[in-house]
Amino acid sequence: MRDRNAERGGYWPSLWPVECGGNRRQKAAHGALDAATGHPLVTTNRNGRWNVMVVLREPGEVFLAGTMAAFSGAPPYGWVQRLDAESMEPAADTGELPCGDHVWCGAVLVHTNGDLYNVNGSFVHRVDADCKVVLERELPADRAHNGLLALSDGSLVTKDLRLEGQGRSTITRLDAESLELLGDPIELPEGSMGRIAADINADGEYVYVPGTEHLIRVSVDSEGWSVDDDYAPRYRNAGTQQGLAWDSCISDDNAWIMDNGDIQGVRAIFGQHPNGRFGDVPPRQLSWQHPAPWTGAQRLLRVGLDDGAVAAVAPFDRPGGGIIAPPVHVPEHRVTICWDSINGGLAGVFEDDMSVAWRHDDIRPTMQPVVFPDSGEVVINDFVDGRDDLIVFDAASGDVVSRVVTGSTLANGMFLTPGGERDVYYCSTLTVTRVQWA
């Protein structure tokens, strides 16, 4: 197995400088929670904002980024805050950051130069450790962007989000020091909904993009970048009863994805321009809990990075599956963790033959998990009875060893971050929480 952290050349040397912990999106943290024998201590800040993700810089430096769920009324904006790790209250704040009037969850990272970079809507900002804005750049595509990665040379890459029938997505590369464009943005062969991932191997550096039908690969080097026309494995056919893929998890020479992501709420948000802006928002129109707009069961797909071979399994055998976050592969335990948010269900699938190792039908995850490979612990949410709990389970067996009430009553597809002190940070709409097992 390749070093999980080999792709961190563009990042500050912290425990978690970027969403999912690194460009391969393996969501792997060092150490263990020892949650089975610990008592969870919960600190919650009900800030009324759309909290997207936490990243870490120096020890004790915790940064939270998000947007405003301003689907109507006052204009939306992005923001970055430095939090007091004990109280979860903001110690520094960027104030309102322009987002092109788009409402969507962006991203933040801590660069190797020590500054933070935030993408939100159609803008990217460079922010120092005191949350003072250093630079601002409007991106070429006037659409909401999701995902922001630093490549090995320190350059930044981001992409706009488009659903089926909305044209081709644009992927943009920026110089981190100046936020100037590095070459022309690339118009991809098709639209793309999921966030980008990146990987380095003996042949070079690549950015992987889940399109509306194919997994797309962009080759990057010092001379520039281009779409790899020889690599385009198909994971779905247009017009079939399966939805689009969110992000991929790059692990052990495969990309792991789940389809059925463009649920009714996502289609409503990206059916508007600016994205997510309505004159009036009908009650519950944007909820992820609506029935799926397709009949297909939720699938987990394994896509070979070398040969493009695609294998799929539907672990839950229920029609109309749907998700708002991607799977995670745990190579140390030979399983990939997947779920069905609409119908409920959490499963571990063996990496080799794609058979189901274990399954829970009464757990309903929606968000990006965190894995502790050393202990086999996996943390994810479980939306139950109108509240969003966190659970810790064993990757190999599926046994749940801890359940925590976060104080959140809303679930979404946002991110968990390990704090390095037997703790995790949880982000959702209206609430951000730290849970520490003592």
CA distances from 10 to 30, 148, 417 (A): 20, 12, 19
Report CA torsion sign: 115, 435, 198, 374.
positive
218 close to 225: Cβ distance less than 8 angstroms = yes
Determine the Cα angle at 72 with ends 66 and 76, to 5°. Answer: 30
| The pLDDT of residue 142 | 98
Token pair listed for 217: 């690969």
Side-chain half-sphere of 21: how many Cα atoms within 13 Å? 25
Token pair listed for 144: 């909401």
Reduced to 3 states (helix: H, G, I; strand: E, B; else coil), residue 36 is: helix
* Beta strands at 186-187 and 170-174: parallel, antiparallel or unpaired: antiparallel
d(CA 241, CA 211): 16
| The pLDDT of residue 4 | 52
| The pLDDT of residue 5 | 46
- Is the peptide bond preceding residue 76 cis, with omega within 30 degrees of 0? no
Residue reference for tokens 């915790």: 62
304 close to 254: Cβ distance less than 8 angstroms = yes
d(CA 429, CA 49): 6
For 378, other C-beta atoms within 10 Å of its C-beta total 27
φ, ψ of residue 217 to 5 degrees: the values are: -120, 130
CA 275, chain centre distance (Å) = 18
d(CA 274, CA 281): 14
- pTM for this model (two decimals): 0.96
First-residue to last-residue Cα distance in the chain: 32
d(CA 151, CA 18): 12
Residue-by-residue pLDDT tens, the chain, 438 positions:
344 544 567 999 999 999 999 999 999 999 999 999 999 999 999 999 999 999 999 999 999 999 998 999 999 999 999 999 889 999 999 999 999 999 999 999 999 999 999 999 999 999 999 999 999 999 999 999 998 999 999 999 999 999 999 999 999 999 999 999 999 999 999 999 999 999 998 889 999 999 999 999 999 988 899 999 999 999 999 878 999 999 999 999 999 999 999 999 999 999 999 999 998 876 578 899 999 999 999 999 999 999 999 999 999 989 999 999 999 999 999 999 999 999 999 999 999 999 999 999 999 999 999 999 999 999 999 999 899 999 999 999 999 999 999 999 999 999 999 999 999 999 999 999 999 999
φ, ψ of residue 8 to 5 degrees: the values are: -90, 20
For 23, other C-beta atoms within 10 Å of its C-beta total 29
CA 308, chain centre distance (Å) = 23
Token pair listed for 216: 């797309």
d(CA 43, CA 60): 16
- What secondary structure letter does DSSP report for 196? P
Contacts of 34 (CB under 8 A, 6+ apart): 375, 422, 437
The domain defined by 8-437 folds into: Methanol Dehydrogenase; Chain A (2.140.10)
Nearest to 75 by CA among 107, 102, 49: 102
- pLDDT tens track for 341-385: 999 999 999 999 999 999 999 999 999 999 999 999 999 999 998
| The pLDDT of residue 3 | 45
Report CA torsion sign: 325, 329, 330, 336.
positive
Q: Strands (DSSP E) along 182-261, which ranges?
A: 186-187, 197-201, 204-210, 215-221, 224-227, 249-251, 254-258
The DSSP string of 316-384 is T--SS---SS--EEEGGGTEEEEE-TTT--EEEEETTT--EEEEESS----SB-EEETTTTEEEEEEEE
Query: Element (H or E) spanning 199, and its range?
Result: strand 197-201
| The pLDDT of residue 284 | 74
Contacts of 226 (CB under 8 A, 6+ apart): 186, 218, 219
φ, ψ of residue 181 to 5 degrees: the values are: -65, 140
430: alpha, beta or left? (left if phi > 0; alpha if psi -120 to 50): left
